[in-house]
Structures are given as structure tokens and as C-alpha cells.
Amino acid sequence: MNNIFMGCYGIGVTRIVAAAIEQNHDDSGIIWPTTISPFKCVIIEIDASKNNSVKISLIFCTRCLEKKK
């Protein structure tokens, strides 16, 4: 009688993401490695009630999109 062994050797995308998060985080959250990060740049508007804040955020966003072209 022989034992039968079975294995699954898929790429395991969810396991890769979980391993990346496990290796690259701190108390504030995930620090994505640049090779798999979902975004290169994040613009966070601090106070949308101020018109100047909205204008400046839009300027930065536009410049980032222009550089991508």
C-alpha cells in the first residue's frame, strides 16, 4: 500500500499580499513595497471647508496626472 500525497502550487495572490503586509507594517498601518503598491501617490485634503485647500489639492492632483503621461 502506497500513501498518496497531494499538493497545490498556485501563485496564491492573497497569500502574497498577506505576507507583504506582515513584513511591511508599523503601528500606523501598512507600508506597501513600491513593487506591489496600489498607488504611487496619495493626496489627502486636510480641510475641505477651506477653498484654498481644495484648489491646492486639485493643483497637486493635476500635476501628478500630467507627469504620468
DSSP string, the chain: ------------HHHHHHHHHHHSEETTEE---TTT-S-S-----S-TTSHHHHHHHHHHHHHHHHHH-
Residue at 6 is within a domain: no
**Number of domains comprising the chain:** 1
Return the residue matching grid coordinates 505576507: 19
- What pTM was estimated for this model as a whole? 0.47
Backbone angles phi, psi at 45, to 5 degrees: -85, 120
Q: Is residue 59, in this structure, part of any structural domain at all?
A: yes
> Does residue 57 lie in a domain region?
yes
| Per-residue pLDDT, 14 | 86
The whole domain housing 47 covers: 13-68
Q: Is residue 62 in a domain?
A: yes
Indicate whether 69 pLDDT > 70.
no
What contacts 31, CB < 8 A, 6 or more positions away?
24, 25
Q: Which residue has the higher pLDDT, 2 or 68?
A: 2
